């Protein structure tokens, strides 16, 4: 089968790394990079480190409003699909690149395979939820990471083409987790290009959601909680909010937060696996914390991954100083930690389902 895979954002490169290695044994894959993430540390570093095949197309579309970005991607992806005429278009997750890829495909009557289907936060205020709901509605194959996701689709009347494959992010943790080493020179840098020495004990923070970083108030609440912790906080900052983060730390004189440039995946996994605790609003990082047995606080109102909440291993939290500190002091019960994200062979299952697809 000829498959056009659309990627654009950091977590999609990681999922493509886990999938392409297996998929390409049986299928022809054409990789389309929309360009949504483009800084070296947000894009090339993943292709280099994880040996992801070079994209066949890089559309160079990034920034602007959600509508502008998605619209420009739709136009450009349509052109590629018309030229390539694939048997299937594969998209991952919930970014604007996901929705643009799916819309371009459905308008050309090409079947869509949505990997990481069925995730729900039950609010269309969240831009990713819009992308998920619409992509699921028009997909032929809906490949879910968990039974919860399957249940979410069933509740919306979607049962055809739905499979539980397990989570590619879990495949990636098992595969790349063996290769982790402490950060080497150049892996952990501040914004002036100086090395950051990783403290022996630290809390890992990642925070990039529009809801938490679009204005000063929520980010400042999060920072003032981090400032009050007894160990330093390491924060690899997403480019969307590094200016705000730097300014707030300077204005408020926060000394406990080590701001770093975004890191590569292997460094990121190392940081998660050695952290005392993790504070994040990332869908990927909260699962990695869970896979690697780290306590996590997730700075979101609704749980995209409710499986991780068992035993308070992960807790949802508002961006509120006192609530964050209170929840970080709760002792998680790891004995209830049961893997519901598959067996680490999601890539093989996805490949088999694609091979068996009849249309």
CB of 287 to ligand UDP, least distance (A): 8
Q: CB atoms < 10 A from the CB of 82, how many?
A: 11
Active site includes 208?
yes
CB-hemisphere CA count at 13 Å for 111? Answer: 14
Dist CA 29 CA 270 (whole Å): 30
Q: Binding segment for ligand UD1 among 8-16, 225-233, 304-312, 341-349 (CB under 6 A)?
A: 8-16
**What is the contact mask toward ligand UD1 in residues 77 to 96, using x (rule: CB under 6 A)?**
-----------------xxx
CB of 52 to ligand UDP, least distance (A): 13
Q: Of these, 11, 101, 319, 344, which contacts ligand UD1 (CB under 6 A)?
A: 11
Q: Of these, 43, 139, 146, 206, which contacts ligand UDP (CB under 6 A)?
A: 206
**What is the contact mask toward ligand UD1 in residues 106 to 145, using x (rule: CB under 6 A)?**
---------------------xx-----------------
Q: Of these, 131, 139, 241, 268, which contacts ligand UDP (CB under 6 A)?
A: 268
Q: Of these, 5, 8, 10, 76, which contacts ligand UDP (CB under 6 A)?
A: 10
- Per CB under 6 A, contacts with ligand UDP among 90-109 are none
Question: Which residues pair with residue 314 across a beta bridge?
Answer: 296
DSSP states of 292-307 as a string? TT-EEEE--SS-S-GG
Does position 282 interact with ligand UDP (CB under 6 A)? The reply is: yes
Tokens matching residue 311: 């035993």
Radius of gyration, CA atoms only, the chain:
20
Long-range contacts of 335-339 (CB under 8 A, 24+ apart): 335/311, 336/310, 336/311, 337/290, 337/293, 337/310, 337/311, 337/313, 338/310, 339/170, 339/291
- Per CB under 6 A, contacts with ligand UD1 among 185-244 are 208, 238-240
Does position 63 interact with ligand UD1 (CB under 6 A)? The reply is: yes
Does position 3 interact with ligand UD1 (CB under 6 A)? The reply is: no
Q: CB atoms < 10 A from the CB of 79, how many?
A: 12
Does position 308 interact with ligand UD1 (CB under 6 A)? The reply is: no
Which CA distances in Å does 17 have to 54, 55, 124, 181, 200?
11, 12, 30, 19, 30
Binding partner at 90 among ligand UD1, ligand UDP, none, C-beta below 5 to 8 Å by kind:
none
Q: Which residues are annotated as catalytic?
A: 208
């Amino acid at each position: 089968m000829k498959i056009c895979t659309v990627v654009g954002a950091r977590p999609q490169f990681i999922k493509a790394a886990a999938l392409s290695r297996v998929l390409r044994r049986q299928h022809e894959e054409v990789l389309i990079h929309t360009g949504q993430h483009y800084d070296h540390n947000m894009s090339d570093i993943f292709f280099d480190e994880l040996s992801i095949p070079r994209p066949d197309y890089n559309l160079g579309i990034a920034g602007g409003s959600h509508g502008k970005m998605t619209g420009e991607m739709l136009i450009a992806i349509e052109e590629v699909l018309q030229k390539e005429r694939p048997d299937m278009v594969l998209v991952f997750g919930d970014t604007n690149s996901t929705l643009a890829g799916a819309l371009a495909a459905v308008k050309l009557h090409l079947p869509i395979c949505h990997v990481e289907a069925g995730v729900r936060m039950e609010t269309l205020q969240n831009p990713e939820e819009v992308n998920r709901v619409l992509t699921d509605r028009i997909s032929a194959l809906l490949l879910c990471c968990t039974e919860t996701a399957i249940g979410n689709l069933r509740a919306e009347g979607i049962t055809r083409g739905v499979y539980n494959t397990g989570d590619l992010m879990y495949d990636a943790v098992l595969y790349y987790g063996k290769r982790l080493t402490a950060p080497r020179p150049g892996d952990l840098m501040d914004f002036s290009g100086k090395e950051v020495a990783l403290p022996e004990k630290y809390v890992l923070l990642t925070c990039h959601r529009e809801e938490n970083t679009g204005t000063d108030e929520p980010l400042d609440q999060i920072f003032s909680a981090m400032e009050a912790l007894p160990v330093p906080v390491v924060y690899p900052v997403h480019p969307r909010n590094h200016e705000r983060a730097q300014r707030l730390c300077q204005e408020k004189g926060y000394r406990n937060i080590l701001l770093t440039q975004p890191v590569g995946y292997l460094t990121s996994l190392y940081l998660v696996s050695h952290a005392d605790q993790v504070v994040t609003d990332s869908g990927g990082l909260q699962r990695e914390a869970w896979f690697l047995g780290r306590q996590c606080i997730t700075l979101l109102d609704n749980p995209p991954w409710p499986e991780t909440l068992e035993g308070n291993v992960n807790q949802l939290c508002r961006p509120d100083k006192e609530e964050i500190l209170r929840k970080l002091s709760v002792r998680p019960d790891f004995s209830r930690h049961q893997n519901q994200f598959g067996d680490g062979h999601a890539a093989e299952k996805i490949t088999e389902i694609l091979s068996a697809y009849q249309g």
